[in-house]
Amino acid sequence: MTRPEAAWQGGWYTGARRLESPNFGPRPPGAVVDLVVIHSISLPPGEYGGDHVQRLFTNTLDWDAHPYFKSIEGLRVSSHFYLRRDGSLWQFVSCDDRAWHAGASSWRGRDNCNDDSVGIELEGLEDQAFEAVQYDTLSRLCRALAQRYPVAHVAGHEHIAPGRKRDPGAQFAWSMLQRQVGWPAAFFPPGTLA
């Protein structure tokens, strides 16, 4: 018998490759995890396929390996998930814990979105389109998240930290995600659905 819980081992999604990050903490008591935050990332920006993002999230990035890395030297961040251009999925922090992806942020009337959101980084760049297979994996993941957490909102980093962040950017197809995952339009940021 298949139960929804089969997709999860605690806060770890069984559809992802697990690589634990030390960059996390407990969620505040009583946190209601009802927000999914979509990001994009590539290191260096626009270069795909390497292992620099995994290294950043596990504090093993060689800051001298590329001139760009000097601009983020010492950064200690994480995301729950990292979804590559080929659709493969990595998880760094249990979704029951608080990952460090949002920074100063506010959405649906609440600040500090790290407290009660799940962060998903798509391998990409603000002004480039994402791969179809990334939407496939993303929609599967979002459906699984909604089985375990009371998800009622999804937003980009650009929406929860406007003026400070631009990801995932104008090329992210919110309408495609909405069609594939089947969530109500009210879950999505105003103006993102065609």
Q: Which residues are catalytic?
A: 121
The candidate with the shortest Cα–Cα distance to 160, out of 114, 97, 120, is 114
Give the list of residues 6+ apart from residue 165 with CB closer than 8 angstroms, or none. Answer: 103, 157, 158
> What is the C-alpha separation between 70 and 29, in angstroms, rounded?
36
Does 159 engage in binding with Zn ion (CB under 5 A)? Answer: no
**Interaction between residue 80 and Zn ion (CB under 5 A):** no
Q: What is residue 29's three-state secondary structure?
A: coil
Tell me if 39 contacts Zn ion by CB under 5 A.
yes
Q: Work out the burial of residue 31: count CB atoms within 10 Å of its CB; fewer than 13 is exposed, 13-18 middle, 19 or more buried.
A: middle
User: Judged by CB, which is closer to Zn ion: 78, or 94?
Assistant: 78
- The residue from 27, 84, 157, 159 that contacts Zn ion (CB under 5 A) is 157
Lay out the site mask for Zn ion across 88-127 (x = CB under 5 A, - = otherwise).
Answer: ----------------------------------------
Q: How far is the CB of 5 from Zn ion (least distance, A)?
A: 29
Q: Which stretch binds Zn ion (CB under 5 A): 5-13, 45-53, 78-86, 165-173?
A: 165-173
- Taking each helix axis from N to C terminus, what angle separates 132-148 and 174-181, rounded to the nearest 10 degrees? 50
Nearer to Zn ion, 7 or 21 (CB): 21
Nearer to Zn ion, 157 or 159 (CB): 157
Contact 31, 114 (CB under 8 A): no
Which residues here bind Zn ion, judged by CB under 5 A? 39, 157, 167
